[in-house]
Chain A
Amino acid sequence: MREVRAPAAAPPRLSLTGLFFRRGARQVLREVTLDVSAGEILGLLGPNGAGKSTLFAILAGLLPGATGSLCLDGQPLEPGGRAFRAAAGIVFQSSCLDAKLSARENLRLSAALHLVPRRVARERSALLLSGAGLAHRAREPVEQLSGGLRRRVELCRALVHEPSILVMDEPTTGLDAASFHAFWAEVETRRREQGLTVIVATHRPEEAERCDRLVVLSEGAVVANETPAALRARIRGDVVVIEADRPSEVAEVVGRRLGLKATLVEENAVHVDHEAGHELVPRIVEAFPAGRLRAVSIRRPTLADAYLALTGDPLETEPPGAAA
């Protein structure tokens, strides 16, 4: 009996090599190279303007003019070209459902776009919608659904032609915690049951935590490519957060008296990364006269901290949930 060939040598599901994109005089993407294995969830992490939305738009075929190569299952395809779009499922940050049509109609239209036979499309959309807990609301116009439910329809829409890779751009923007978890539970289920491969652009630390691996983008270039745990481990120890009315003075004093690097983060907070935070807190408190500091707290580093340490830019424009 011949031996069954081992699938270990299989090429990555998606691989991008040396992707460049220029807009006017600005180089938006600089030699972006990354691989996504089958069944992997890859996060593209970076704040607005880092290039992740540009990368998404190129993959979705909305931005022509990128140079570099794309391979899907080892087959070279035009980045964002029709063949790639036919194989991918795409979830946009903003809705791309027709609000006047029902969830079921939206799914069937999307299936028709991908030439899914009508009978298969009917069965599959029923299955997807009931899996998302939407069976009883499948006939209502989408505009009558809540934001969280609409997002789930959006996910079903992107999956109705059984894509080999799901590409998402900040898919949970504006969702509350419950809807966020429901959305990702859906993605996880598909991954577990069908080996779905996912590439997701995000600036939400809690979304990045759900990825198997993170590609960190800063000013259009890949500056890190590792697991969330490895990224967090770049900061050893703790983060000490100092809140004060004049944070720049506080940062300066910490630097001069304690010889530590303090980073201004938000309007009135300063971060100090330190291996032994609990020893540092009393020294900071003693270094300032009473009343100068509003609060000094200590916490485990998050992905947002790691991103800040890596690039010098905050991950989120709005203040991150510091108490997490």
Chain B
Amino acid sequence: MRAPDAVLAGLARPAAEPASHRLSRLRSFNLDLATVRVLWWRDLVRFFRQPSRLVGALGQPIIFWLVIGSGMSGTFHYGAGAGTGTGYLAFFYPGVVVMVVLFAAIFTTLSVIEDRHRGFLQSVLAGPGSRLAVVLGKALGSASVALSQAALFLALAPAAGFRFRAVSWPLLGAALLLVALALAAIGFAVAWAVDSPQGYHAIQMTLLVPLWVLSGAMFPVPSDRPGLALLMRLDPVSYAVSAVRRALAGPGAPGALPGSAGRDLLVSTTFAAFALLLAVLASRRAPRP
């Protein structure tokens, strides 16, 4: 009687030899993908379920844009003489779009500090995903929230003089996605290394906010200040702002850096890659006792 024997042996085996606990490469990859998806989905759901965050996401940049924009418009002249040049509201608008992304990245990665010690992120860290997957998931979630906020603000583009049909949406999307990923990854690395909300704010205000101020978002690269001009050229965020300007107002947009959109995107991609690497390295460190 062969068949019952085989059945019995088959039944007995699982008890004596439990399934292998080692992970195949494919399963590891799928677990990483799942980790990225879960963190991404969670950040988006949390954002869209809180109406106050949606209102704040739109209200704050509008106020910022209109107040600073009209305050500066009397003294600011770009391009040819007065009358033919670009008004400050139009010049400042692409800068505010990048600011929306910056603030969203700061806000969403601040939560990492709390979340890591007494929150959902704890269970993800103790889950089967790698640290790289955790960083990518969080950066994508944060970037998606940032892009959603930017999209809300971009609905006002016609009010700043940019026609929707003239906007290069692929370039705009790519530039904003890259800078959002980079800033979110930096935020993650800072949150991880500093591990206190006060320290986090102090570092972000002295690191990320100057990156934005020097990015050409508020004023163009000055021709008579070589030192400042060099700093602005070294600032990776400048290239994202430049790409956003080109996307909204064409290749020769006022305030865009000399060069092409391709170069702008290349620098932004490198920036994002370095920032993500930094975040992964930071996340491998043990928490302080």
Contacts and interface: CB of A to CB of B under 8 A. Distances in A.
A96 B120 contact: yes
A63 B8 CA distance: 44
Nearest to A94: B118
A96 B118 contact: yes
Given A64-B286, A73-B21, A75-B22, A94 B117 contact: yes
B289 interface: yes
Interface string B126-149: 111110000000000000000000
Determine which residue in B41, B120, B125 has the highest number of CB atoms from chain A within 10 A of its CB, and name it.
B120
A96 B127 CA distance: 12
A170 B129 CA distance: 24
Contact of B123 (A7, A9, A90): A90
Nearest to B37: A112
Contacts of B22: 75, 77, 83
Determine which residue in A2, A23, A87, A96 has the highest number of CB atoms from chain B within 10 A of its CB, and name it.
A96
Nearest to B284: A64
B31 to A, nearest CB: 6
Contacts of B130: 82
Interface in B5-51: 5, 8-9, 11-12, 15-16, 18, 20-23, 27-28, 30-31, 34-35, 37-38, 41-42, 45-46, 49-50
B287 interface: yes
A114 B34 CA distance: 8
A115 B30 contact: yes
B196 interface: no
Given A2-B8, A96-B118, A86 B23 contact: yes
Given A10-B16, A113-B34, A92 B122 contact: yes
Interface stretch (A97-105, A124-132, A227-235): A97-105
Nearest to B32: A82
Contacts of A77: 21-22
A296 interface: no
Nearest to A154: B123
A60 B49 contact: no
B124 interface: yes
A5 B11 CA distance: 10
A4 B6 CA distance: 11
Interface string A68-91: 000011010100001111110010
A157 B119 CA distance: 13
Contacts of B16: 5, 7, 9-10
A44 to B, nearest CB: 17
A62 B126 contact: yes
A1 interface: yes
Contact of A4 (B8, B38, B41): B8
Interface residues of B, number: 46
B130 to A, nearest CB: 7
A164 B21 CA distance: 10
Contact of B31 (A9, A82, A97): A82
Nearest to A7: B15
A64 to B, nearest CB: 6
Contacts of A115: 27, 30-31, 34
Contact of A73 (B18, B120, B127, B284): B18
A72 B18 CA distance: 10
A113 B127 contact: yes
B29 to A, nearest CB: 11
Interface in B69-97: none
B24 to A, nearest CB: 10
A10 B27 CA distance: 26
Contacts of A75: 20-22
A83 B50 CA distance: 36
A7 B11 CA distance: 12
Contacts of B289: 23
A108 to B, nearest CB: 9
Determine which residue in B5, B22, B28, B37 has the highest number of CB atoms from chain A within 10 A of its CB, and name it.
B22
Nearest to A100: B46
A65 interface: yes
A277 interface: no
A1 B21 contact: no
Contacts of A110: 123, 127
Nearest to B8: A4
A96 B122 contact: yes
Contacts of A82: 23, 28, 31, 128-130
22 contacts: A1-B5, A4-B8, A4-B9, A5-B12, A5-B16, A77-B22, A82-B31, A82-B130, A84-B21, A86-B128, A90-B123, A92-B122, A92-B126, A97-B120, A98-B46, A106-B120, A109-B38, A109-B120, A112-B37, A113-B31, A113-B129, A164-B18
Given A1-B5, A82-B23, A83-B22, 12 more contacts: A1-B1, A10-B16, A64-B284, A72-B21, A83-B128, A92-B118, A96-B119, A97-B123, A109-B38, A113-B31, A115-B31, A115-B34
